[in-house]
Amino acid sequence: AQSVTQPDARVTVSEGASLQLRCKYSYSATPYLFWYVQYPRQGLQLLLKYYSGDPVVQGVNSFEAEFSKSNSSFHLQKASVHWSDSAVYFCALSINSGTYQRFGTGTKLQVVP
């Protein structure tokens, strides 16, 4: 089945530390992958997307993600987190040639002092 797995429901990191949020996908064809962020009481906003080419993609607010076909992964990374990065992060996979997206269960990030 075409699916996305985010194995970590919650992640806590110290401000200034590096971050990796994990995403694994299951899809037989070339995947189109996305990371979205949800701040409290808001809808989701796109952070970055991968379609093809360079496996490392840059996004907003210094986030980047690395696509690995061999590992079926699309992990989100940031070199130094800020308290304002506290939010819920969703990985998503495009289905049926882009007609809709299927989401993971989300990872809640808490940045502590």
| Binding residues vs another protein (CB under 8 A) | 6, 9, 32, 34, 36, 41-46, 49, 90, 92, 94, 97-106
In the complex, minimum distance from the CB of residue 110 to another protein, in angstroms, rounded to a whole number: 16
Question: Which amino acid appears at position 78 of this protein?
Answer: K
Q: What is the DSSP letter of 84?
A: G
Nearby residues of 59 by Cβ (< 8 Å), 6 or more positions away: 35, 46, 47, 48, 49, 65
In the complex, minimum distance from the CB of residue 16 to another protein, in angstroms, rounded to a whole number: 29
Alpha helices per DSSP H over 1-113: none
Under 8 Å between Cβ of 108 and 10: yes
In the complex, minimum distance from the CB of residue 42 to another protein, in angstroms, rounded to a whole number: 6
Is 54 or 70 the residue whose CB approaches another protein more closely?
54
Is 3 or 84 the residue whose CB approaches another protein more closely?
3
